[in-house]
Amino acid sequence: MNTSPSTPPSGAEQLAQGFALHVEQWLRRQGCDTAQIDTLRHAAQAVSLATSDGHVCVALAEVAASMAGAISVDALRSTLRASGVVGTPAAPGSLPLILDEQDRLYLHRYFNYEQRLARRLMRAASAPPCAVSEVARMQLNALFEANAQRTGGAADWQKLAAALALRQHLTVISGGPGTGKTTTVVNLLACLIAQDPGCRIALAAPTGKAAARMLEALRARAEHLPDHIRERLPSASFTIHRLLGVSPAGGFIHHAGNPLAIDALVVDEASMLDLSLATQLLEAVSDAARIILLGDKDQLSAVESGAVFSELSADPGLSVACRHDLAEGCGLSAAQITPPAASQPSALQDAAVWFNRNFRFAADSGIGRLAGDINHARAEEAIDWLREGQDASVRWLDDGGMAPGEATLRELASGYAPYLEAVRRDPADHAAITRAFDAFRVLCAVREGPRGVLAINELMTRQAREHLGLAPAGGRDGASAWYPGRPVMVLRNDPLLQLFNGDIGIALPAAGGVAGDDAGSTHELLVWFAQAGGGFRAVAPARLPSHQTAYAMTVHKAQGSEFNDVLVLLPGQRSRVVTRELLYTAVTRARQSVAIASGVEVLRAAIASSTVRHGGLLSRLREAATPAG
């Protein structure tokens, strides 16, 4: 990208330029000619920019097409391989770039992550089946007995997924909200505890909000379990960073050389895992332990590089031996167990299960129907149905202006009115205020612009101050913006304060609650964070890590959260970031109703376009599955 003094390079561009300069210096020391240096510099910058954009690698054809001079892929490949700075999967060495047999160009670090993750996954997938005790089988059949009436004798994929996780060291369960993932895990954990009452189980998720929701959901769905089993369920959940432990040097305390002392790891919202974090997490799990990953393959992938969960979920195929064992354990015939066709073939077999039946809302309900249309790229059907306005749970605000229109502004104001009224009525009632805030959320596709997160938060700040009878803030979003009821989202992990990226707190007076060490005068504002085990913890605003006002949040930040009602605000113009996966993720954050504010062309383009993440994990899995020699 060309830059000028008036358009300084972004952080990603600066990193890419720095890496390209590093490669150039390496080449100059080797005495390479100018043409070769220019080609390698461009390729190095391209692959670095690709990783900043969420890709793990870049296709060689894209690099060739982006170069100023005409160059074929064959010529580019030859230049890279002859440069002395590009390794291969068979001989990566310590070279800065890696080119695989499928013409994918990697930064060495990301290739290394992919290779390590693939090897760890294949060790888990190829391990001999776990022994399943008779007591665990009895528990499995008892806990899923109620499902038999609903399935009418057909295969119960919730039960099969639990049986698979009892048999295997690795299980990947993909399903949208309301498809029964949590119920399945509760019953699975009950089976593991019945088989081994001392089983050490860890619950984790990428964000604090997702971890808290996971624990709450497990507790809510465990009431049917016998007391002696329910009492042994995990009593805590962790962010992945907290579970692994951040060392003073910046790495993790737990890793392959110092694994977690657990027998089973359950990771919720695993679609948010990026390649680096997934690799470090799974390497910290001993080969003897079970790994259960829960997520939604159709959701947005991680903000950072990789689309790990969708690649792991690609092939739900089951071997003949696995189907036989599952049939025997679940009281079925093997012929009844017919997994869906793979979205992509994978060497990772006997690991993935897709949940396609929704129990929260029927497929023909408003949210269910819209989510299905989005997922299957049925843009015209979705738009025609939205125009009819027959379902009150789904509304389309045909608002395509550069700034939000009147209908969107009314939706915004009415959505937060109960929250602001709760703050005005009793600012000491933290529970009521938090419930009111969590009932509604504005989800934006972008941060910048008049329909982005920053502008909507500024707008809502003005409205909130007016509603509460406060003077306007002196600044856009700085220290002067603190007022009772200001919601803030943490943007950076702070292990010392036990605050993590994505955590949301609300500024309220110090009086009227247990404020801990941060309590001050009755006029002092503290930021109150709901705790996973109940109650609230207060932190002084000055102690908070990087944060921002949180009336509106990006769809990415909303992953792992659910709200009763959601307003989805798309930009006024088509954007490459507004894709089918983003819209599906936004819509499925709603429990009761969703309103989409968008022009028709932007909405149509979003449903029609899919997010593409370049990566080679499936290739690395095939390599890891192939015996050496």
Give the pLDDT confidence of 529-540 residue by residue, as tens digits: 987 667 899 999
Q: Which residues, 6+ apart, have CB-to-CB distance to 337 below 8 Å?
A: 155, 160, 318, 323, 326, 327
Residue 120 phi, psi dihedral angles, 5° rounding: -65, -40
pLDDT at residue 115 in the model: 96
Residues written for the chain: 629
Contact 96, 22 (CB under 8 A): yes
pLDDT at residue 513 in the model: 40
pLDDT at residue 538 in the model: 93
Nearest C-alpha neighbor of 238 from the set 262, 274, 208, 193:
208
**What is the C-alpha to C-alpha distance for residues 415 and 394, in angstroms, rounded to an integer?**
15
Contact 349, 125 (CB under 8 A): yes
DSSP string, 465-492: HHHTTPPPPSSSSSGGG--TT-EEEE-S
Contact 99, 80 (CB under 8 A): yes
Tokens matching residue 583: 């819209």
Contact 287, 124 (CB under 8 A): yes
Tell me, what amino acid is at 407? A
**What is the C-alpha to C-alpha distance for residues 154 and 148, in angstroms, rounded to an integer?**
8
Tell me the pLDDT tens digit for each residue of 274-325.
999 999 999 999 999 999 999 999 998 888 888 999 999 999 999 999 999 9
Bridge partners (DSSP) of residue 606 are none
Bridge partners (DSSP) of residue 494 are 499
Half-sphere exposure of 375 (CA within 13 A, CB side): 17
Where on the phi/psi map is residue 360: left (φ > 0), alpha (ψ -120 to 50), or beta? alpha
Nearest C-alpha neighbor of 365 from the set 594, 564, 203, 604:
594
pLDDT at residue 361 in the model: 59
Helix (H) or strand (E) holding 413: helix 406-425
Contact 308, 617 (CB under 8 A): yes
Nearest C-alpha neighbor of 342 from the set 378, 302, 299, 312:
312
pLDDT at residue 496 in the model: 81
591-613 in b/e form (b: 16+ CB < 10 A) is bebbbbbbbeebbbbbbebebeb
pLDDT at residue 173 in the model: 97
**What is the C-alpha to C-alpha distance for residues 202 and 106, in angstroms, rounded to an integer?**
33
Contact 513, 489 (CB under 8 A): no
**What is the C-alpha to C-alpha distance for residues 29 and 246, in angstroms, rounded to an integer?**
38
pLDDT at residue 2 in the model: 43
* Residue whose entry in the numeric block shows the structure tokens 């050389």: 257
DSSP string, 50-110: HHHTT-SEEEHHHHHHHSSS---HHHHHHHHHTSSSEE-SS--TT-SEEE-TTSEEEEHHH
CA distance to 99, 415, 422, per residue, from 31 (Å): 22, 65, 70
* C-beta contacts of 82-89 below 8 A and 24+ residues apart: 82/36, 83/27, 83/32, 83/36, 83/40, 84/27, 84/30, 84/32, 85/23, 85/26, 85/27, 85/30, 85/40, 86/40, 89/115, 89/620, 89/623
Contact 106, 47 (CB under 8 A): yes
Tokens matching residue 209: 């909000």
Q: Which residues, 6+ apart, have CB-to-CB distance to 558 below 8 Å?
A: 441, 443, 585, 586, 589
Contact 33, 41 (CB under 8 A): no
Burial class (CB in 10 A: 0-12, 13-18, 19+), 320: exposed
**What is the C-alpha to C-alpha distance for residues 491 and 494, in angstroms, rounded to an integer?**
9
Contact 316, 354 (CB under 8 A): yes
DSSP state of 307: -
CA distance to 183, 251, 328, 496, per residue, from 247 (Å): 35, 5, 46, 12
Q: List, for the chain, all residue ranges whose pLDDT scores fall below the cut of 50.
A: 1-5, 475-479, 512-522, 629
